[in-house]
Structure 1
Amino acid sequence: MSASTKMVRGRAVAAATLAAALLAACGGGGGNDAGNPGGGGSTPPPSDSSPPSGSNYFPLAPGARWVYADYANGGDTPSALYQLDTGATTQVDGHTVTSLVSTSLDANPAQGDGMRYLSTASGVTVYPGPDAGVVDDAIGPFMALKLPATVGDSFVQFDKTVDSGYDDDGDGVHEKLLMLSTVQVIDRGPVSTPAGTFPDALHLRTTLHQTERDSAGPSSYSTTFVQDIWLVDGVGRVRATLIATDDASGTVTEREHTELQAYRVGSAHGGPAPTLTSFAPADAQVHPGSVAVTASFSMPMDPASLSAGGLVVTDAAGHAVAGQVTLDGSGRNAVFVPGAGWPSGVFTAKLTAAATDREGNAATPQSWTFTLDTTAPALALATPAAGASGVASNATATFVFSEPLYGPSVWMSAPTFTVMDTTTGLPADVSPDFDSLATITVKPRTYWTHGHTYTVTFPGSFADLVGNTMGQPASVSFSVAPGVFGAATPLAADIGFEAVQTIADIDGDGRPDQLWASWDESVFPPLMHLYVRHGQADGSLGPVTEPIPAPVYGCTLERIAAVDLNGDGLPDLVLGGACGMRIYRQQAGGSFTLNQTILLPNYEQAGILAFQDFDGDGRVDMLSAGDETYFHLWHQDASGQFVDAGTVDAGIGSIGRLRLVDVDGDGVPDLVVSSAGSQSARLSVLRGIAGGGFGPPTTYDTGDGWPDAVSVADVDGDGRPDIVLAIYGSQAPSRVQVLKQRADHSFVLAASKDLGMEADGLVMADVDGDGRLDAIVAHPTALGVLLGRADGTFGPEDLYDAPQAGFMPGGLGVGVNPDGREVVGWNGQVFTALASSKATPQAAHRHALATSLAGHPVPRASTRH
């Protein structure tokens, strides 16, 4: 075995022995006292050679405690921090001896010396305990300190050759250790440590010479250990240094230094005042009610002192908050828990001088103030309210919470709350929004499904800005109004490009048929084809067929009119649009043949069509209009051909919509014309003249905006037809506007009702079966219903999803099933009312006269912008 390895062995043995020999110095080292060169140096002259009276340099009183820091090899950072406490006592040789218990205060394992101590007036005697090593047992009891101790005194602790307990050379025989230890009293004087300044410390030096001799040969290895120790009467060891030197080379192999950090011996104590190293809640901030008041200390604390006023919390009025203080196992971390939970308010946590560390050192007072918000957020307002019924299909659900919410608890990459269609059990298709404060809104991406119930659930993890959570989920359920229509039936997956739609019973079976025309783009140039799905007895629609198995129009079609032109009981078809009119007569077998094509001058359009016997000859005549300021009259001659009977100026600029109906009850049809032009008057009424023709126009102001559609119906039940407009608002919202007819047959602005969006068409029909006419409004992607009221006003608009089944469809149609239920067609969808109509023909003037939309909306960009 090498010499260096033997030195390690020898060092281990010596350290164990020195631990006892030098009054429980558990190692440590490096630093030297500024006033002392440390162990192994020259002996300074004594400052006072007389011993103090009643000296107790190694107090073993019950409850005594010392905290030490070891420094290795001259380092400034402790290599070990530990605590020594007087432990159990026992009888040895008739003496009461005391053990010392070592507790690590850092990550190093605790290491006891296994020795027991007897302190008397004559000195300190060390006894090997049950856990002592082989060498300590061989040395046996010895004096560590003789009293009185006068500067210059010295004595031999022991001079023995002992069994080392190990076999270094492998010959089966334990090596021997020659050990000579002497103690010398060096001086007395002041010493400063972190535990305090001691003016009269006793300085001892113990020198241990240790030689290991191999049993198999003459080899030996010697080491000298010099330890200086400073003892204070009534305190004990306050400082120690150790130097180990290889005698053969003179090399210092180890240097350690130990300093007293704090102590408690009886009523005496010393050490730095414990301070707060951290605390919570943070100073001058607002915290949630779940917060814990914690304090971390620089030293292990006495729990009783903290509970007895050392750590207190007061409210804004200065009253102490009842609670309990607990310490963790390290003694450095305290928690204050209120007895009855935290209320909201301003609180001050105080560390007072009554708080002490385990050695009795009073803490440095400190305080901090914090505000607690213990109120959990709650759902304060829900619109619709929980349990609400009859909710509009386009309603925005709004939820307002009692305080601002913490954003990530509401919305991470997606909302944390859910919206379920509880009728189907599926997530609702919604567009939610959070205003980053306290309001959440939920809108249906299209519309809530009529008759369905929806549940919005907010999780208990919703938190306010300081972290209080709701705790329990909050749910709101509401039911959407049952509606007046059943589920819409699409005419086709795609009804084509620029399709125009209408409803008419073209086969005479009393059931409404669905007609539409759209471009066939498989050929060039593309041509318009006409399609039909006949109404079936069970209310369904038959397959798609072409009543005219050939292209029916070569330009954009805007209007399909089904009317019996020759009185044979078979509806004929008149198609109007950008290329004038094409007239198809229905034959007895149900086929259609082209009877007449009318081309208009100057590229005029025929998107508006109306039919009536204007000249009293018993034959149906025709009126056509585009977006000019006038309309054409066409008389049907005896051969069934329509001939131009001239034009009539509408009196309001560009014509937008036109209705032909007897408004004054004289039996002669009158004209109601609306305009989307830039002029101030956008509605005119032209009275029909018996025998043919129309009187001069009377214009009316319709208020803000442009009329998008017009219909005529008695909405207030006074027997006089009123005018109903769908108006695109300019400054005000779009709306349904009623012009009430007075007794003198003039009209005045009356009730109005806002619309959710601009309108493309308007018809009047009794869709809820209450006998009153309702306003059916076509929107770009929806169908709206405003239920008529007895006083002539309308209820709020209820919207139904009507996605466009093709590109730019047009045409709002209305019909009646044999069971009396209204049927409405729009955007390639067919809506059938759930209730049978009870409206009287006098109130309605409908179905023959009700269709107000004349094909596509009249272009209005030039007049609105």
Structure 2
Amino acid sequence: CDGRADLFTYAAGGNIRVFHNELVGGRLGFVLANPQLSFPIGNGYTSNLIIGYYSLPVIQDVNGDGKLDILSYDFINSTKLELYLNASPGSCGGISTFSRYTEQWGQLEACGTCNSFTLAGGPTCGTYRTLHTPGHNILLLDLNGDGKLDLLDGRDNCATLTRILNTGTSTMDAVLAPANASSAFPSAAAPVSLPVFPAAYRFDADFDGVPDLVLAPDMIDNTADFVSLRNSVQLYHNAATSAGAVPSFGLTNGSFLQGDMLDVSEGAMAAFGDLDGDGLTDMLIGNQGDKVGGYYRANLSYYRNVGTARRPVYRLVNADYLGLGAAAAAAGTRFESLRPALVDLNRDGKLDLVYSAFNGSTNRLNYILNTAASGQPAAFNVAQASYFKPQGAAGSGVLPARQYDTPCFFDVNGDGYVDLLLGTNDNTEPGGSLRYFRNQGAAAAGNLDNLFVLADGDYGLLRNNGARQPGLAPTVADFDGDGQPDLLTIDATGAVKMYLNFKSQTGAFPERTNLFYNALSTTYGPSTLGYSVSPSGTMRLAVTAADLNQDGTPELYVGTESGGLVSLLPGTRSVVLAAQPAAAAALAFSLYP
């Protein structure tokens, strides 16, 4: 009751734990208030309040006493709604104990199929074989203005919400009858439809003082490729004239917030270069994939710089640049994990396109030469695409062909030809996470397919606690301003590491990790760009360095698992804090915005 929202989270075993929102020194902070909500079961015993990890409960005041209660499906079968009233002492704010008011709120029993329930006075569920314990996302709100809370229920593997009006004497003593149930919510003409497991949230999303509905699929991951994660959040505007009036919901935005940000669905990686010939740096972003036109395929998104050289502004021009995703869908072939680079391969002064992509069985490092005249918009003929071929006999260090292989082009040996640094998960050939392929230059005799030969299969001996770095993505720039190139990597565990002046290093490159400045704590620390519970890493991250504001200092652009770009701006190189660790003198990145 302090006006600040607290945090209810899942805890091991399907429990609920609670963190109080407490300001510490004027800064936002959450302090553990209850590690495990519980309720008495008689004879002096208590039981933990279990909802499982697969369902979203209701946490709100149900009986009007000013304290938060909990409504959730039972943990064992997820067929009946259990109402737990907050029995904590005091008039407000406590979460020390709960009491179970009913084990079948609303006289409801969920059946085995979508929008199927046994309700008060209705037929019973048919006999079926339960394949798994179903999940439910539920929300209570007064939909008809009678002062009692009604139910919205979204179910896993289902696309719609079921609305059931409460005709009981109160919210606590609800009655949910068949005649008041409908899966055509909010209207038969435009019902809610999401690819899978809709979850509804009620809040004032457009700041007109009236709470709206926001819906999104409730997913742990997108392994089934059901969802376009750049178009998955729906805003249903409430056209009611006041917060207490009968709500009137209508879909107004199918990509709420997503449509106003840079979002390529999932697994983003950026490449920068002038594509339209206007002298400004444009942007290409590859992705893991996106659900478009019924198919899940990777694509390139082309963002044109409509700003200036020092203040770039990016506008989406084409969400499937060159039609790579559409072509793969038409051919019925897989096309995923697209990671692009723009580099002058044939030394004609124009940027060519290179992209790593997975076709379902192997990963190829493809390239398309730019056939446009100098200074003109880039011209890439997909029909003329080729790919770099393995170099050397098997076992001698051929070009890897693993999903998420990530290229970085840079002249490592100083001979004037761009070489290839490749982050890879390959374990079929001898080598580590970073492979250095030398550009043969004139010796390649114009055969770009065979342009690169292995120079070092375990370049820098990069490791995470003695193990290979999974999902490694490299980039090169002069980060510390000493005129020498530095190597920076990110991997699938979320770790960001920098290797200063790497060209002069031999053996295992010395690493630096305390690169990020926290303005709240005024300290430097390691990456907080993600965390994988698996030591082998599960996140798809990528990094690109570019000086987009032309201040002479490169920024970092991290492509995230969730399909966005995180921009990290360098700190002032000349500033040295008294408590600054050695790494901070080389690089101090701050998250923006």
- TM norm structure 2: 0.34
- TM norm structure 1: 0.25
**Greater fraction of residues in strand:** 1
- Higher-Rg structure is 1
